[in-house]
Structure 1
Amino acid sequence: MPDIFVADYSNPDHGQAIIELLDHYAKDPMGGGMPLSTFARGHLIQELAKRPFAFSVLCLVDGQPAALANCLEGFSTFACKPLINIHDVVVNESFRGQSLCRKLFEKVEQVAIEKGCCKITLEVLEGNPVAQAAYRKLGFEGYALDEHLGHALFWEKKL
């Protein structure tokens, strides 16, 4: 039976599980194909802990890190309410096919409702149809304010 909970950044076991799972994701082609940097490994948990708008949902199976969702609270100006962005999602290959993603997202949604959020957002790569199908099954979809203007795009400018 999986144990799914909001991680405590002051708990070294939780911190280690987050780093382990995030590194697993980073090494995957869908996460960029490179391990986490030494800097990220050494500073991520303390930096997350400094941010009251950040939380991580961990899933352990038989005490082993199995899945992770790193989340950040944002704000919708149109709704004038907070929102949750699921920034990272990873299910370790060894634990796939056990509905852990659904269970992670149920916990994220519970936290979002408790915070009075208007929505949950996430990004997904065009070339990741498996994740897209999973997210659609969980109620996520691309959005357009006006069908004639097309779907919203997520862009970045690296600094």
Structure 2
Amino acid sequence: MLRIEVVDYSSPTHAAALLSMLEHYAQDPMGGGDPLPQATRENLVAEMAKRPHVWSLLAWSEAGEPVGLVNCVEGFSTFAASPVCNIHDIAVRDGFRGQGVAQQLLAAVAEKAKARGCCKLTLEVLSGNEPAKLAYRKFGFKPYELDASMGKAEFWQASL
């Protein structure tokens, strides 16, 4: 049985678990395959704590180890005039994948997002990450489009 809880960024236990899970994700090929930069490890939790529209959930195993993480960033939909919950990171530890951890985390995110008044959940996924895409589809996610003739939305970035 998993225990899912909102991360208390001021808790050393939660901070260490968040960083451990994010490091695990970063070193996975789907997270880029590299360790987190030292500056990120040193500053991330404090920077997240400063932002009221950033929140995280941790999934803990029966043995009390962190096995899942979701980091969320609230945005805003101008078309719906409502907040939007973007799932910025979702990670499940090796050995716990395929056991429904992601589904439980997504359900907890949806519940918290609804409580915050969000109108939808969004996320990005690499086109080759078939296991993640399967999990997201199972939960009800699908590629976004307004008009099929215009194609599906793409996630782009420009570094600053």
Same fold (TM over 0.5): yes
Q: Secondary structure of 1:95's partner? A: coil
Is structure 2 residue 78 aligned with structure 1 residue 65?
no
What letter matches 1:63 in structure 2? G
| Counterpart-to-counterpart distance in 2, 1:33 and 1:97 | 21
Gaps of 5+ in 2: none
Is structure 2 residue 36 aligned with structure 1 residue 36?
yes
Q: Which residue number corresponds to residue 101 of structure 1?
A: 102
Q: Deviations over 1:75-127 (max 9, x none)?
A: 00000000100000100002122211001011100111101111000000001
Gaps of 5+ in 1: none
Q: Which residue number corresponds to residue 128 of structure 1?
A: 129
Instruction: Write the mapping of 1:8-27 to structure 2, written as runs, cut at 5 A.
Output: 8-27=8-27
| Counterpart-to-counterpart distance in 2, 1:75 and 1:101 | 24
Aligned length: 159
| Counterpart-to-counterpart distance in 2, 1:71 and 1:60 | 18
| Counterpart-to-counterpart distance in 1, 2:15 and 2:96 | 19
Q: Secondary structure of 2:127's partner? A: coil
Q: Secondary structure of 1:93's partner? A: coil
Question: Could you state the TM-score of these two structures normalised by the residue count of structure 1?
Answer: 0.98
Q: Secondary structure of 1:108's partner? A: helix
Q: Which residue number corresponds to residue 91 of structure 2?
A: 90
Q: Deviations over 1:1-35 (max 9, x none)?
A: 11101110010000000000000000011000100
Q: Secondary structure of 2:95's partner? A: helix
Q: Deviations over 1:130-154 (max 9, x none)?
A: 1111100000000111110000010
What letter matches 1:6 in structure 2? V
Q: Secondary structure of 1:94's partner? A: coil
| Counterpart-to-counterpart distance in 1, 2:11 and 2:20 | 14
Q: Which residue number corresponds to residue 53 of structure 1?
A: 53
What letter matches 1:5 in structure 2? E
| Counterpart-to-counterpart distance in 2, 1:129 and 1:2 | 24
Question: Could you state the TM-score of these two structures normalised by the residue count of structure 2?
Answer: 0.98
Could you tell me the percent identity over the aligned residues? 51
| Counterpart-to-counterpart distance in 2, 1:20 and 1:91 | 11
